[in-house]
Amino acid sequence: MRKITIATTNDGYKLEEMGHQPWHEYDGLSIDFILDFKHIPEKEYLLKVTSLSKEFDWINVEDGNFIFDLEKIKRNFNVFSECKWMKSYITLKPNYEPALDDSKFIVSFSATKKEIEVNAPKKIFLSHKGADKPLVREYFQLLKELGFDPWLDEDAMAAGTKLNRGIYQGFKESCAAIFFVTPSFKDEDYLEDEVDYAIDEQKEKGDKFAIITLALKDQDGKTGEIPGLLRKYVYKEPSSQLEAFREIIRALPLETGNKVWKN
């Protein structure tokens, strides 16, 4: 378990980091706030932690929930610099425990590597030309009905979001990118960026990120041209929407859920 400690002092706080200790069974993240409770009533521990959190851009507190930006933590602390599993965000609950020094008290937030990976966002980015949105929306609805979390620009980005930033964040939160390559699809502008982002994510996440490319025919029977950078990855030319959807499900790095009764 890799640890960050934030200890209150007379003039503010002291920040330290510690690498994974071999006696810990699991690797992961632990953030400990060490409070001098001689000067803090017990009921105010969490208020103090919330106040301290404002000092760091990698912690965000919303409605009492503590949200940790794992990528910012990775950039700010050397002990996490080689941890590929430090991705996206995670919400953690506080744990309370006395410190070895009986004048101190610890409020800690922790998660194992496995817990971080399990809780990582698993969105599915749907890359397409605007003219093909009605077609792509059908796949979007099907994926949602099956319990997946598809990412479609008009639904995923709030008004006012810069398009390139929104797209970049969408890829960071995704475990797959599906390219719907019709004759309308051109490897230029934002679509060019999406191809680059997908390749970067695949290199970084390995088998936790899939690039799924579908060469689709239009009403005249013409097939879209696969961008050069995507040709080194397996791509399919499905003869029907049903076959295309089957290829998507087979290629996703996710298992389908358990079969349970609706009621």
For residue 80, how many other CB atoms are within 10 A of its CB? Answer: 20
pLDDT band at 212 (very low <50, low <70, confident <90, very high): very high
Closest CA to 210 of 186, 235, 191, 244: 235
pLDDT, tens digit, for every residue of 6-46?
A: 998 888 899 999 998 877 788 999 999 998 866 666 678 88
pTM of the model: 0.64
Q: Which domains does the chain show, CATH number per domain?
A: 2-118 (no CATH), 121-251 (3.40.50.10140)
Q: What is the pLDDT of residues 225-236, one digit of tens each?
A: 898 999 989 899
Which residues, including other chains, have CB under 8 Å from residue 220's CB and lie 6 or more apart? Answer: none
C-alpha span between 46 and 68 (Å, rounded): 16
DSSP 235: E
253 token code pair: 């790095």
pLDDT at 198 over 80: yes
Tell me the pLDDT tens digit for each residue of 61-119: 988 899 999 989 999 999 999 998 898 789 999 998 877 777 788 999 999 999 988 87
pLDDT at 158: 53
Residue 39, phi then psi, degrees to nearest 5: -110, 5
Question: What are the two backbone dihedrals, phi and then psi, of residue 261, each rounded to the nearest 5 degrees?
Answer: -65, 145
